[in-house]
Amino acid sequence: MRSEIVWMIVGMGLVTYIPRMLPFVLFKGKELPPFLQGVLKNVPSATLGALIFPGVFFINEDIWFGVFGAAVAFIAAYLGANVIVVVLGSIAALSLYSFII
Amino acid sequence: MAELAMNKTHPEFKRGFQSGVSIAIGYAPIAITFGLLAKTTGLTFGETILMSLIVFAGASQYISLSLISLGTGVFEIILTTFIVNIRHFLMSAALNEKSEKGQTINKAVYSFGITDETFSVAAMRDDTVTSGYMFGLNLISYCSWVLCSGVGFYLGANLPQTLQESMSIALYAMFIGLLTPSMKKSMKVVFLAALAACLNTVFTMTTELSTGWAIVISTLISAVLVELIEGMKAKTGEEEDEK
């Protein structure tokens, strides 16, 4: 291993770990203002929206590939399928899709 | 004492481990591709594994590879990594609100494993997030990430292209699988997700913001706006009640 690369990796690890760890230490045992608590409660659903779109359109050069996969996942999830079933189902549906097209 | 603690954390650890199966599946194609790209970029096997072991953050690991091949300096690569991964601060702050009290040392350890995916699964959980749950969830995700990086380094070029392409939907399918049940239960969740999705799409298409910042800003605007609107609605509701 080259020492320059190792140092780069250690640096990358540190700047990634610190923002992950800080909130748990900074806010420990502290009661945040109610408004801020409300905002933080909204973060998961909002993050999921931003993580799905627009990324899902760009997983393949063919934009319909992502659209089709997302639609299958949504229908399966809407019908109450378990997350693992949703994941495996959309992989299977897309394998079929590429097989046909 | 130790046995007692084990008995208490064991079922939670198991639950976390099971919740992480979708993540482990979803990480496989991304980590395999990372391993393959790392090899073509000129990293050794040891360096590839070390990066997945120490950094454990998909997007920034990919970006570092393209920066290395462009001949970018170490400092710029570390700075870019920081900018791409700063969004985890917001995720950890949100998860901190949902996690069990105390246990600061455990939290400082498991926070190493907070990614977009482990955060999403833990934050959408109905129960309080315990340390045992987080260790189980992170462990299976981390193992998949590191092992598949290694697999990709050696075998990436030999895997069938169709399967790899189909598997690229996995993490998105998981996000949809996590979000949909909550959307069915609450209009608020629909608004939060839709607003953040629209904002992120606009930012990604029209600005030079990095992916990390675009996600942070869209999430924050959506979370704050919906909270403000809710507060206003609650207030007018109270005033109407008083009349």
DSSP letter for each residue of B48-109: HHHHHHHT--HHHHHHHHHHHHTT--HHHHHHHHHHHHTHHHHHHHHHHHHBPSS-HHHHHH
Of the candidates A70, A48, A41, A18, which has an alpha carbon nearest to the alpha carbon of residue B215? A48
Contact B227 A38 (CB under 8 A): yes
Inform me whether the pLDDT recorded for B140 exceeds 80.
Answer: yes
Which residues of chain A have a CB within 8 Å of the CB of B64?
A: 8, 12
pLDDT digits (tens, 9 = 90+) for B150-169: 999 998 777 788 877 888 88
At A14, the amino acid letter reads L
How far does A14 lie from chain B, in Å, by closest CA? Answer: 8
Nearest CA in chain B to A37: B97
Stated length of chain A: 101
- Stretch B9-24: mean pLDDT, rounded? 92
Distances (CA, A) of B185 to A78, B112, B179, B182: 11, 32, 10, 5
Query: If contacts are CB pairs under 8 Å, which of residues 24-83 in chain A contact chain B?
Result: 24-25, 27-29, 32, 35, 37-56, 59-60, 65-66, 69-70, 72-74, 76-78, 80-83
Interface test with A, best of B103, B174, B176 (most A CBs within 10 A): B176
Contact B195 A46 (CB under 8 A): yes
In this structure, what token pair is assigned to residue B68? 């290395």
Residue extents of the structural domains in chain B: 2-164, 186-243
Which residues of chain A have a CB within 8 Å of the CB of B61?
A: 12
Between helix A3-26 and helix B58-69 the angle, nearest 10°, is 150
How far does A57 lie from chain B, in Å, by closest CA? Answer: 10
C-alpha B88/C-alpha B116 separation (Å) is 8
**Ranges A29-33, B40-44, B76-80: which has the least confidence:** A29-33
Confidence of residue B8 (pLDDT cuts 50, 70, 90): low
How far does B157 lie from chain A, in Å, by closest CA? Answer: 18
pLDDT digits (tens, 9 = 90+) for A69-87: 999 999 999 999 988 899 8
C-alpha B12/C-alpha B110 separation (Å) is 14
Q: What is the pLDDT of residue B225?
A: 97
Which residues of chain A have a CB within 8 Å of the CB of B162?
A: 95, 98-99
A3 Cβ under 8 Å from any chain B Cβ: no
Interface test with B, best of A6, A41, A42, A96 (most B CBs within 10 A): A42
Of the candidates B28, B35, B56, which has an alpha carbon nearest to the alpha carbon of residue B112? B56
Which residues of chain B have a CB within 8 Å of the CB of A53?
A: 197-198, 200-201
Between chain A and chain B, how many beta carbons pairs sit less than 8 Å apart? 280
- Stretch A90-94: mean pLDDT, rounded? 94
| Distance between start and end Cα atoms, chain A | 44
Which residues of chain B have a CB within 8 Å of the CB of A32?
A: 97
Which residues of chain B have a CB within 8 Å of the CB of A97?
A: 166
ipTM of the complex, rounded to two decimals: 0.92
Residue in this structure with the two tokens 């790209």, named with its chain if needed: B37
C-alpha B209/C-alpha B217 separation (Å) is 10
**Ranges B53-67, B77-91, B149-163, B179-193: which has the least confidence:** B149-163
Residues 6+ apart with CB under 8 A from B65: B34, B37, B38, B41, B43
